Amino acid sequence: MLAASMSSSSDAADLINLARYPIADLASPAARGVISDGRAQLARNGLCLLHDFLEPGALALMAQEACSLLPFAYYKDEGMMGDGSGRLNGRRLPRPSRNAAAAIAYDRLAPASPIRRLYEWDGLVGLFRELLGVERFYRCADPIISCLLIYYGDGDELGWHFDPNNGVVTLLLQAPEQGGEFEFVPDIRRHDTEDFPAIAHIMDGAREGVITAPIRPGTLSLFQGVDSLHRVTRVTGPRPRIMLTMSFDTEPGAQFSPEIRRRYSGRVA
């Protein structure tokens, strides 16, 4: 779910690499160039990567904050089809797919957290609105999981799946020693039609059409994953992969279901 709104006067422009991404003024010719390039990336395969989006010092602060919170993260290891329904996010999958990771919920972030400041910056909302070409775009109103730190430790992974919506926003804060690659197959689903043989082929290890995204720490990603099968490969080694996920919606006030809250935080309130 992309999710919705909290107005904020937060200013996080000092965290952004404005020399490369001059998005403080989205009407400027330089900003229009960034937006044009991002739209071209989305049109090509549904993934927009903004490398070195943060100032180096800001990335270091966020990674340090995330590492300090890891001991308090909620861990869960589950098969995505564990309920026997054969569905994930309303999409049928021909094979079980494992999700093992830990998470820190939004309400665990300190008020002065640079991660919180980035998420609550209105300039970020404006950028995504332009990249997606939509008039309405809001931060999530969910107080628990609208903004999550996700940790993949040794042996953890996010198995093959589809998203319930387009426009998932992530920021990689720390890469692991091995693994933790983001892989996807663009548009393997077409017009809500399931191509089970093709999906099963990929889930069984085939590599035809699989793209490994060149994501490195500091890369901001906007991904349209409704029709694109994707995963995070298994992590190996003691250094965790740390990813920030940020939720938005085209309508204000949207929140996540109790089931989704419990899945990522272990609680509903």
pLDDT tens per residue across span 213-241: 999 999 999 999 888 999 999 999 999 99
233 neighbors 213 (Cβ within 8 angstroms): no
Query: Which pLDDT value is given to residue 91?
Result: 64
Q: What is the mean pLDDT of residues 58-87?
A: 83
DSSP 8-class letter at 236: B
Task: Return mean pLDDT, the chain.
Answer: 90
Query: Which pLDDT value is given to residue 127?
Result: 96
pTM value is 0.91
Distances (CA, A) of 120 to 11, 16, 55, 74: 8, 13, 17, 23
125 neighbors 4 (Cβ within 8 angstroms): no
pLDDT for 196 beyond 70:
yes
Token couple for 103: 């998470």
pLDDT tens per residue across span 97-106: 899 999 999 9
pLDDT for 8 beyond 80:
no
Query: Which pLDDT value is given to residue 80?
Result: 64
Q: What is the mean pLDDT of residues 37-60?
A: 97
Of 44, 241, 65, nearest in space to 150 by CA:
241
Q: Give the distance, in angstroms, between the CA of residue 218 and the centroid of all CA atoms in the same chain.
A: 13
Q: What is the mean pLDDT of residues 56-84?
A: 87
Helix (H) or strand (E) holding 157: strand 157-161
Which domains are delineated in the chain? 13-265 (2.60.120.620)
Give 60's pLDDT tier (boundaries 50, 70, 90). Answer: very high
Sign of CA dihedral 160, 164, 167, 170: negative
Mean pLDDT lowest for which of 88-92, 108-112, 243-247?
88-92
pLDDT for 190 beyond 70:
yes
pLDDT tens per residue across span 112-162: 999 999 999 999 999 999 999 999 999 999 999 999 999 999 999 999 998
Distances (CA, A) of 12 to 62, 63, 70, 234: 13, 16, 24, 33
Alpha-helical runs (H) found in the chain: 29-45, 56-69, 114-119, 122-132, 196-203, 258-265
DSSP 8-class letter at 13: G
